[in-house]
Structure 1
Amino acid sequence: MDTEKGISKDATISEGEALKVTEGETYIDPVAEKRLIRKLDLMLSPMMVLFFLVAYLDRSNIGNAAIAGMTKDLNLTGNRLNVAVTLFYVTYIAFEVPASLALKKLRPSRLIPFFVICWSAVIIGAAFVNNYAGLIATRLLLGCFESGLFPCLTLYLSTFYQPLEQARRISYLFVASALSGAFGGLLAYGLTNLHGVRGLAGWRWLFLIEGVISMIVGLMAIFLLPDNFEKAWWLREDEKVIMRARTGNASLYQGASLSIETFDKEEVKYAFQDPKVWLSSFCQFCANTCSFGFSTFLPSIIKGFGYSSVHTQLLTVPVYIWASIVYIVVSFASDHFNRRAVFMVPMALVTAIGYALQLGVSMDKTAVLYFATFVTATGIYCVVGLNVTWIINSNAGYFKRATAIGLQQTIGNSAGIMAGQIYRLKNSEGRYVIGHAISLSTMTTAAVGYFTMFILLRGLNRKRENMSIEERIKEIDAGKMGDRHPDFRYTL
């Protein structure tokens, strides 16, 4: 059999087995493939969810700690809390592209656990800081070590799953981030009640216990995470044969560029020159402005409605659970219909309505304002997550895709610098007018960007579908690979 089609020469396939090569493409028995995907989900998804869950817990617990006494204990007067939130993203955005490009060489089974263990140690250390400078140091280090996790995980998943399977799997990461808010609220409620035990304040227990949990996850990852499907100890040889066939078929469909192993500077350059990557990155910046502001300051927003600190911790939980349920449903539908924009634009507009409600409803209508947080949460994780899936679908070639993901996340996550500042001031009613107004405008802008991307990609698909044979051969002879190949079709 042809090794370039993803099947090794020594792989034996008996009569009635799952594979058959016809005209260069490998037929895969759908029943066997479905069984394999279920196994991938069973083994990979829990690990991915755990990594992202603890990452978001450790990143956003500063919001829970702030209303549990940290602000007073560390003398976080003025805008010091906002500065601490903002500085996390300074180091976070600096290392995302290098981390995604280094993943293959440094090995996922080592690099990803390294990130988790290091930031866990930082969070444990944060439980013992005694001043503002110490808090700043921990936030800078936390951003440094968390920076590579998301681009590395999305790139890692793209080596196991085909493009039409990716939205659902990447959705698990964002569901984990949403659930981290729910778990964070519950943990904050329980752990802050340990205030005074062994002389530690409740917020210190919050950092300490969550840091220990993350450390355990990081140590487990060393032994459980394979570098790739070839080294996955939980895959049988016949299942690896199917994985090779899937990779080979995907290479045929996407311009024979997915199997490149050596570093390709040209692919990196193409990513930086691709206007679609920059448009996607700009949309991610707009959506992340809302996402980061919402996840970090939701406890403060709800407390502003007049609830106590204890009740506020609990009231954040249903909001995040609702956001998780919506995103799971939308991501499954997005994969089922193989469409992105048709879900992203409406979801962005629903979230915009939520911000409008928080701006326009009287502050004495507490129930309506609390309902508005559910409306706001409805689309936030959907648009952020599906946009990540979309950029993976829109870039073929390992290193072009790696660069595109890293660039999108670098630009998108720089929104955290702004998000940390826009929820600094309340008006006389206790409403975050500036924060809600900026979030409303950026989410509306993101909706326009998603629609523009749809029009752009649809035009490129139609152009390729209308190519003559001569034009197609000319493009291939010119060496256009990956998503520039005339056979490549963009997901809309």
Structure 2
Amino acid sequence: MMATEKTLFDARSTDDVESPPSVNEANLQVDPAAEKRLLRKLDCFLAPMMVLFFLVAYLDRSNIGNAAIAGMTEDLELTGNRLNVAVTVFYVTYISFEIPASLVLKKARPSRLIPFFIIGWSVVIIGSAFMTNYATLIATRLLLGAFESGLFPCLTLYLSTFYKKEEQARRISYLFVAAALSGAFGGLLAFGLTSIHGTRGLAGWRWLFLVEGIISIVVGIMAVFLLPDNFESAWWLCDDEKALMRVRHEQTSVYVGESEVFDKAEVKLAFKDPKVWLSAICQFFADTCSFGFSTFLPVIIKGFGYGSVQTQLLTVPVYIWASAVYIFISFMSDRFNQRAVFMIPMALITAVGYSLMLGVAMVSTGVLYFATFLTATGIYCVVGLNVTWVSNSNAGYFKRATAIGLQQTIGNSAGIMAGQIYRITASDGRYTIGHAVSLGAIILAAVGYFTMFLALKTLNDKRDKMSTEERGREINSGKKGDRHPDFRYIL
């Protein structure tokens, strides 16, 4: 390598080019320009795949709301609370496999496990196009929950192996932007497919399931060939870029003590950590809003007095707005290396949206529709940033894997409740119980985020004040991961 060329590492000599960095090179200074180029390349290859995987997941999960207003309710005789039960049972199996999925990801290999999930639920969605009664609806929802359960914790954990903690908010945001865009895309798809009702003897809602299932299975097959297990096997990284990835890994794992084999001690640490439980409880409250809003937005808007076709189109701008806001907020969160300062205001904006939907007269359809934009503004931001926060706050690998899985298990159990709270409580179609419960939940989430901020700040301040002797005792006692005295929490 010539001296005039851009080097990967400021401290690396020209004699080192042929051999990869050793594990003791964590003190090397990375060339910022080379690192920026590497991050751009990671984003170019990883971001589209992550968005696509999560987009089809949310599309297939939440299309039940679009199908319900497109004739499925009548065709399957979903009287009483049957639709609510169908929404709820998805989360019974969904929450059961999240922790196991995240723990076996490394052993099972991302390039195999993640495509398995996608192809599995795609087959279920295709089968949903041929449901004949309520019992088959319940069966397909249970299977769908089982296959989708591992995707999000596995993708979050997967991204944490490529990016440093201060880079993760924007990258994990891609998953939630995909969730929001799935609502917009799902509304447009539902509008188009339900308009071909009766073609080849299939109702419009059946075409919705069939086409979305085929799209998903194509994505799953693509994942088999495109998804690398780690940066070492990434076919799109050159040798120098892999060398830089090794140094980045060492820079972030000097005090972490990452284990390549299953570590039961780290799993236990996650279950004993009060911060993990607080994060999980906050996620439960935020997910109560997220699941209720994303699943029932079509029926909420229809309750304002709009027709079925118009309703499908009106969901689209809401999700596009939510996506744009979250992209901006996640970028700013990484830019300033802060979480709570963005999460708390976003939660309060969502609270204002729910308040408007509860308090404004049903004749004011324009104001009520505007309220859905306010509600959507904060939902994806707080849910997504909280996932990033728990990933940032736990190390090493198996503690982080367990913490993410535990947070998602408890958080997603909110879907069981969210599926039951949106019921028509008056002839005018106002969803009073659903909005009131969601309002209380998002306020409690904001209180939890502030509590987390105070707890982490206290720990950081305590470590900042450690003497050299105290720091040495902590290290000599075997403290590693986020318990290491050099670890600092992002606030």
User: Which structure 2 segments of 5+ residues have no match?
Assistant: 1-11
Matches within 5 A, 1:46-445: 46-252=48-254, 255-257=255-257, 259-445=258-444
Deviations 1:410-452 (A, max 9, x none): 0000000000000023323320000000000000000000000
How far apart, CA to CA, are the structure 1 residues paired with 2:188 and 2:199?
Answer: 19
Pair 1:487 & 2:490 matched: no
Q: CA deviation at 1:114?
A: 0.2
Identity score, percent? 75
Aligned-partner residue type, residue 209 of structure 1: V
Aligned-partner residue type, residue 341 of structure 1: A
Question: Which secondary structure does the structure 1 equivalent of 2:80 belong to?
Answer: coil
How far apart, CA to CA, are the structure 1 residues paired with 2:26 and 2:362?
Answer: 66
Deviations 1:3-41 (A, max 9, x none): xxxxxxxxx962798999998512111111110110000
Structure 2 counterpart of 1:5: none
Q: CA deviation at 1:180?
A: 0.3
How far apart, CA to CA, are the structure 2 residues paired with 1:256 and 1:193?
Answer: 55
Q: Is the 8 A contact 2:303 2:428 kept in 1?
A: no
Deviations 1:457-484 (A, max 9, x none): 0000000000111111111111110000
Matched length: 478
Question: Which secondary structure does the structure 1 equivalent of 2:486 belong to?
Answer: coil
Question: Which secondary structure does the structure 2 equivalent of 1:171 belong to?
Answer: helix
Structure 1 stretch 420-429 or stretch 21-30: which is displaced more?
21-30
Aligned-partner residue type, residue 490 of structure 1: Y
Pick closer, same or farther for the CA change 1:24–1:362 going to 2, 3 Å: closer
Q: CA deviation at 1:356?
A: 0.2
Q: Is the 8 A contact 1:55 1:146 kept in 2?
A: yes
User: Which structure 1 segments of 5+ residues have no match?
Assistant: 1-11
Q: Is the 8 A contact 1:164 1:335 kept in 2?
A: yes
How far apart, CA to CA, are the structure 2 residues paired with 1:375 and 1:17?
Answer: 54
Question: Which secondary structure does the structure 1 equivalent of 2:29 belong to?
Answer: strand
How far apart, CA to CA, are the structure 1 residues paired with 2:131 and 2:429?
Answer: 30
Q: Is the 8 A contact 2:21 2:247 kept in 1?
A: no
Pick closer, same or farther for the CA change 1:196–1:20 going to 2, 3 Å: closer
Q: Is the 8 A contact 2:85 2:419 kept in 1?
A: yes
Q: Is the 8 A contact 1:162 1:250 kept in 2?
A: yes
Structure 1 counterpart of 2:7: none
How far apart, CA to CA, are the structure 1 residues paired with 2:425 and 2:315?
Answer: 20
Question: Which secondary structure does the structure 2 equivalent of 1:306 belong to?
Answer: coil
Deviations 1:215-253 (A, max 9, x none): 00000000000000000111111110000000001112x
Aligned-partner residue type, residue 28 of structure 2: T
Structure 1 counterpart of 2:9: none
Structure 2 counterpart of 1:459: 458
Deviations 1:132-174 (A, max 9, x none): 0000000000000000000000000000000011000000000
TM-score, normalization: structure 2? 0.96
Q: Is the 8 A contact 1:20 1:28 kept in 2?
A: no
Q: Is the 8 A contact 2:25 2:247 kept in 1?
A: no
Aligned-partner residue type, residue 416 of structure 1: G
How far apart, CA to CA, are the structure 1 residues paired with 2:84 and 2:93?
Answer: 16
Question: Which secondary structure does the structure 2 equivalent of 1:263 belong to?
Answer: coil
How far apart, CA to CA, are the structure 1 residues paired with 2:163 and 2:298?
Answer: 36
Aligned-partner residue type, residue 97 of structure 1: I
How far apart, CA to CA, are the structure 1 residues paired with 2:317 and 2:326?
Answer: 14
Aligned-partner residue type, residue 137 of structure 1: A
Q: Is the 8 A contact 1:20 1:27 kept in 2?
A: no
Deviations 1:96-126 (A, max 9, x none): 0000000000000000000000000000000
How far apart, CA to CA, are the structure 2 residues paired with 1:168 and 1:23?
Answer: 28
Structure 2 counterpart of 1:14: 14
Q: Is the 8 A contact 2:256 2:395 kept in 1?
A: no
Q: Is the 8 A contact 2:284 2:412 kept in 1?
A: yes
Question: Which secondary structure does the structure 1 equivalent of 2:423 belong to?
Answer: coil
TM-score, normalization: structure 1? 0.95
Aligned-partner residue type, residue 100 of structure 2: P
Q: Is the 8 A contact 1:53 1:180 kept in 2?
A: yes
How far apart, CA to CA, are the structure 2 residues paired with 1:372 and 1:488?
Answer: 41
Aligned-partner residue type, residue 205 of structure 2: W
How far apart, CA to CA, are the structure 1 residues paired with 2:340 and 2:284?
Answer: 17
Q: Is the 8 A contact 1:20 1:26 kept in 2?
A: no
Structure 1 stretch 21-30 or stretch 200-209: which is displaced more?
21-30
Aligned-partner residue type, residue 262 of structure 1: V
Q: Is the 8 A contact 1:93 1:410 kept in 2?
A: yes
How far apart, CA to CA, are the structure 1 residues paired with 2:45 and 2:375?
Answer: 33
Aligned-partner residue type, residue 122 of structure 1: V
Structure 1 stretch 435-444 or stretch 471-480: which is displaced more?
471-480
Q: Is the 8 A contact 2:65 2:295 kept in 1?
A: yes
